[in-house]
Amino acid sequence: MKAEIICVGTEILMGNIVNTNAAYIAEGLAGLGISCFYQTVVGDNDSRLLELFGEASKRADIVILSGGLGPTEDDLTKETVARAMGQNLVLDDKAWKQIQKFFEKRNLKLTDNNKKQAYVPRGAKVLYNKNGTAPGIIAESEKVTAILLPGPPGELRPMWDDQVVPYLKSLSKEAFFTEMVKICGSGESFVETDLKDLIDAQSNPTIATYAKTGEVHVRVTARAENEKEAHKLVKPVVKEIKKRFGSKIFTTDENVTLEAAVMQLLNENGLTLGTAESLTGGMLTSRLINVPGASDVIKTGFITYSNKSKRKFLGVKRSTLDKYGAVSEQCAKEMAKGCAAASKSDVSVSLTGIAGPDGGSEEKPVGLTYIGVSVLGKIKVKKYLFSGEREKIRESATAAALTLLRHCLLENLTERTFA
Amino acid sequence: MKAEIICVGTEILMGNIVNTNAAYIAEGLAGLGISCFYQTVVGDNDSRLLELFGEASKRADIVILSGGLGPTEDDLTKETVARAMGQNLVLDDKAWKQIQKFFEKRNLKLTDNNKKQAYVPRGAKVLYNKNGTAPGIIAESEKVTAILLPGPPGELRPMWDDQVVPYLKSLSKEAFFTEMVKICGSGESFVETDLKDLIDAQSNPTIATYAKTGEVHVRVTARAENEKEAHKLVKPVVKEIKKRFGSKIFTTDENVTLEAAVMQLLNENGLTLGTAESLTGGMLTSRLINVPGASDVIKTGFITYSNKSKRKFLGVKRSTLDKYGAVSEQCAKEMAKGCAAASKSDVSVSLTGIAGPDGGSEEKPVGLTYIGVSVLGKIKVKKYLFSGEREKIRESATAAALTLLRHCLLENLTERTFA
């Protein structure tokens, strides 16, 4: 079964808002094993929408549209699609009653425009809207099924979850299973090279790689008559990928981030973490603290941007700063050591580097970064050279710190040095 | 002049990532007064991309594509577009050298895949990539101009700003002038209401509002035969907007962020800043430190996530924590005071709140946040209730802290309390 997504709205076309509806619907379709080969955004324009819907109807079995169901004149998605499908609009009493209630509840004055929202194509399934006025619509014809949804995400998402997904499941004979293998500490081209034979041989399951800052994600997707069978097809491929990348794989769960994987590692082993950030200035700690339950692991972080504060709060030696400078292996080491002590943490991570655009030199260029990790007193420092603009360098350094931290934790875990 | 946007990537089509590139490009085109009637997303699929590019070429003068320029097997945007335009790919030595340097710098092993990225259509303008390996491409033919950009936003955005925008400006006979009025501390619906008469009356210049977290941006764009004339049309509208929003406007420069405006305010007045973050966990400081030259203003930041660390590093009283709790006006006040003292800073900002999903209560719900600002010993604390998921709450709190900090600085500046 093939579906296609059309988002209607000048505000998306002008870049006023990011099109999160398309991503939400697309992810939902992927989860249902429904193929989607096109997403299109078009303005509130009758002729362009008419033509686009026509093309989509030729390409897909189901066309899902969002937006343009509002009460105003320029909202024309429903009218245009109904015309394209040769269906008349009739008043849906229940929808009209709900709209009236919606306005009463809020002591808002009902205008004639609002009644427009209660009209639906004759014989269509009406998706009543708990969170707004515009009802959604499922209109079927021999040629195509059109699913119309309101634009506001707060209305579209619950309507999708509660009413559209069950409808789509009832149509599908095929089941679908997908697993996301997330790798840190390897570039995309490496991963691609290491998986070339699998990717070249792919048909079912399919394999796709996605590059993220400091990570590569490999999606393995299989289809079968039921989920159990699809899972069976995915399993050996994921097993093979695991064999090739070993501990560089930090999760196979789509929803687990690198910071969450690191936090879990700390949590499971009852370890607390302290951070000492210079060039990243809190970016690393912020990512870690975004993981729910962070308070069990992280008590204190230091953002020591000046030499003075590196000395005062982390006990970095003045002689170290004089002799090697703040961006040096020695400084990163003393930062990690001092951070663990000052924050009374089992584990600590330190970052010092040159984010640019200024401050670089022949000997110490912009992007030069040292990251230190201390696990129960055992300290490792690694040197990096990141490129790009200031923010990109800081993001790369943050990702690298998470990767090194995880690496050092695993190293010590396997050495069973933990109580 | 008409443009069309095609974003290539299975990860967008599958809903793995939200299509922020389309919004960024669309906003840029709007600012240049270039019409865009379609945005399309298609997977890394040769035949579908070929067909889509063909349709777009008929509808538009310029087709802007993002994604699919990577080194991997399934990256085929460049190959497909070149074939559609009947152009051969040739090795660009400069691009190839840059890619080799990129890998040397990082001590990474170059794979055969990487050389693929250095091939460009014969005669095309090459947009060299400061932030990654894939060069962008501008390929012209009588029929259409294709602009190919890398998918990662960290590479696409600077390439767009620095190289594509000047190119697009050079094409247009008409001149455009655009000014971006950035407002903090007002919701979008308020801004739109306050500007309704101007927006309804708009033709040239046009007025568009963009909602960001804690900010609203109002873009005023005028069209004329030369930039001077266009500027003349923009001026009175911007003046009127300034009159209506006054000090809530922190810049009219597209490239100035809220954090940059705050840092400039501190810098100009020779003030140093200390930060004390609990729920935001470094997010505020990280944003501030992303501003070049931050080291002149920020020396130290404290991420005090536990009560103990609030007491130890900021001198928050145990009795305060016992009586009022960590998420309280009193705690925020003591955090700001203690932070200024411990970091020896003229100005300090403190955040404490409940990011969720757990930890909320009837009396103190998730999203409850107190932000404190101390300017030369004068402390102000404000209470907020943010909604959304954990990350959204933390982002809203960060934006609110920047807004309150700016507000307090302006208040004190006008009172001339500075030495």
pLDDT average, residue stretch B251-279? 96
Residue whose pair of structure tokens reads 């300290």 in the numeric block: A379
CATH code given to domain A2-171: 3.40.980.10
- Provide, rounded to the nearest whole percent, the portion of chain A with pLDDT above 70: 99
Do A99 and A133 form a contact (C-beta atoms < 8 A)? yes
Helix axis angle for A329-342 and A307-314, nearest 10°, is 40
**Which DSSP string do the residues of B183-214 spell out, in sequence order?**
EESS-HHHHHHHHHHHHHT-SSSEEEEEEETT
What does residue A275 show for φ and ψ, rounded to 5 degrees? -125, 150
If contacts are CB pairs under 8 Å, which of residues 260-279 in chain B contact chain A? 275, 277, 279
Query: pLDDT tens digit string along A203-212?
Result: 899 887 777 8
Query: A294 and A303 in contact (C-beta within 8 Å)?
Result: no
Site of tokens 């609110």? B400
> Which residues of chain B neighbour A189 with C-beta distances below 8 Å?
70-72, 111, 113-114
Residue B206 has a pLDDT of: 86
Q: Which residues contact A93 (CB under 8 A, 6 or more apart)?
A: A118
Test A388 with B154 for CB contact under 8 angstroms. Answer: yes
pLDDT of residue B73 exceeding 90, the answer is no
> Which tops the pLDDT comparison, B66 or A112?
B66
* Per-residue pLDDT at B418 exceeds 70: no
C-alpha of B312 from chain center: 36
**Mutation site for A-interface testing, chosen from B25, B39, B45, B133 by largest number of A Cβ within 10 Å:** B39
Mutation target among B5, B217, B290 for the A interface, most CBs of A within 10 A: B290
Inter-residue contact B333 to B320 (CB < 8 Å): no
Query: Quick one: pLDDT at residue A417?
Result: 41
Q: What is the mean pLDDT of residues A19-29?
A: 93
Average of per-residue pLDDT across B207-215: 84
At A254 the pLDDT is 83
Coil, strand or helix at B257: coil
d(CA A21, CA A167): 19
Which residue in A58, A161, A275, A300 has the most chain B C-beta atoms within 10 A of its own C-beta, making it the best mutation to test that interface? Answer: A300
The yes-or-no verdict on residue A40 having pLDDT over 60 is yes
Joined tokens for residue B320: 């305060």
The gap between the terminal CA atoms of chain B, to the nearest Å, is: 55
Mean pLDDT of chain B: 93
Is B281's pLDDT higher than 60? yes
Give tens-digit pLDDT for B246-263: 999 999 998 899 999 999
- pLDDT, one tens digit per residue, over A372-409 is 999 999 999 999 999 888 999 999 999 999 999 999 99
- Predicted pLDDT at B415: 57
Q: How far apart are CA A109 and CA A116, in angstroms?
A: 15
- Reading phi first (left if > 0) and then psi (alpha if -120 to 50, else beta), residue A315 is in left
Cβ–Cβ below 8 Å for B343 and A394: no
Q: What share of chain B in percent tops pLDDT 70? A: 99
CB contact under 8 A, B131 and A23: no
* Residues 6 or more apart whose Cβ sits within 8 Å of residue B173: none
Q: Answer whether residue A88 shows pLDDT above 80.
A: yes
**Which tens digits make up the pLDDT trace of A259-286?**
999 999 999 999 999 999 999 999 999 9
Closest CA of chain A from B74, distance in Å: 8
Query: Within an 8 Å CB–CB cutoff, is residue A390 touching chain B?
Result: yes
Question: How far is Cα B229 from Cα A367, in angstroms, rounded to an integer?
Answer: 43
Question: Under an 8 A CB cutoff, do A281 and B289 touch?
Answer: yes
A114-151 pLDDT, tens digit per residue, is: 899 999 999 999 999 988 889 999 999 999 999 999 99
Assess whether the previous peptide bond of B357 is cis (omega < 30° from 0). yes
Question: Which of A197-206, A242-251, B46-55 shows the lowest per-residue confidence on average (mean pLDDT)?
Answer: A197-206
Cβ neighbourhood burial of B91 (10 Å; 0-12, 13-18, 19+): exposed
- Say whether B258-418 and B2-171 share the same fold: no
B417 pLDDT band, cuts 50/70/90, is very low
Q: Output the six-digit token pair for B396.
A: 């809203």
Q: What is the mean pLDDT of residues A176-198?
A: 88
Distance CA A222, CA A197 (A): 18
> What whole-number distance in Å separates Cα of residue B37 and Cα of residue A236?
45
As a whole number, mean pLDDT of residues B268-280 equals: 97
pLDDT band at A169 (very low <50, low <70, confident <90, very high): confident
Q: Which sequence spans correspond to the domains of chain A? A: 2-171, 175-251, 258-418
B160, pLDDT greater than 60: yes
> Which residues 6+ apart lie within 8 Å of A346 measured at CB?
A271, A272, A273, A340, A375, A376
Burial class (CB in 10 A: 0-12, 13-18, 19+), B55: middle
Confidence of residue A419 (pLDDT cuts 50, 70, 90): very low
Integer Cα distance of B242 and B238 in angstroms = 6
| Average confidence (pLDDT) over A88-110 | 89
Do B314 and B276 form a contact (C-beta atoms < 8 A)?
yes
Task: For residue B11, list chain A residues with Cβ-Cβ distance below 8 A.
Answer: 208, 210
Candidate from A246-250, A301-305, A355-359, B76-80 with smallest mean pLDDT: A355-359
Q: Residue A46: what pLDDT?
A: 95
**By the 8 A CB rule, do B205 and B233 touch?**
yes
Report the pLDDT averaged over residues A179-194.
Answer: 88
Q: Please, what is the average pLDDT of chain A?
A: 92
- From B385's Cα to the closest Cα of chain A, the distance in A is 18
Assess B39–A contact: CB distance below 8 Å, yes or no: yes
- Cα A169 to Cα A151, A166, A222, B27, B29: the distances in Å are 23, 5, 17, 37, 40
**What gap in Å lies between CA B150 and CA A119, rounded to an integer?**
44
- In this structure, of A59-68, A314-323, B67-76, B122-131, the range with the lowest mean pLDDT score is B67-76
CATH topology of domain B175-251: Alpha-Beta Plaits (3.30.70)
| Beta strand ranges found along B14-135 (DSSP E) | 35-42, 62-66, 89-91, 119-121, 125-127
What distance in Å separates residue A21's CA from the closest CA in chain B?
Answer: 9
Residue B4: predicted pLDDT:
98
Strand positions, DSSP E, A107-199? 119-121, 125-127, 136-140, 145-149, 175-184
Give pLDDT, residue A267: 95
A316 shares contact with chain B (CB less than 8 Å): no
Of the residues B110, B295, B351, B391, the best mutation for testing chain A's interface (the one with the most A CB atoms within 10 Å of its CB) is: B295
Residue with tokens 């009460």: A71
- Given CB atoms, is A167 within the 8 Å cutoff of chain B? no
Q: B28: closest CA among B208, B227, B152?
A: B208
Residues of A within 8 A of B52 (CB-CB) are 38
Contact A13 B39 (CB under 8 A): yes
Is the Cβ of B413 closer than 8 Å to some Cβ of chain A?
A: no
Helix axes B390-414, B258-268, angle to 10 degrees: 30
pLDDT above 90 covers a percentage of chain A that reads 74
Which H/E stretch holds residue B26? Answer: helix B20-31
B286–A286 C-beta distance less than 8 A: yes
All residues of chain A having their beta carbon less than 8 Å from the beta carbon of residue B282 are 275, 277, 281-286, 289, 301, 303
User: CATH number of the domain at B258-418, out of 3.30.9.30, 3.90.950.20, 1.10.10.10, 3.40.50.11540?
Assistant: 3.90.950.20
* pTM of the predicted structure, to 2 decimals: 0.82
- Residue A418's pLDDT is what? 40
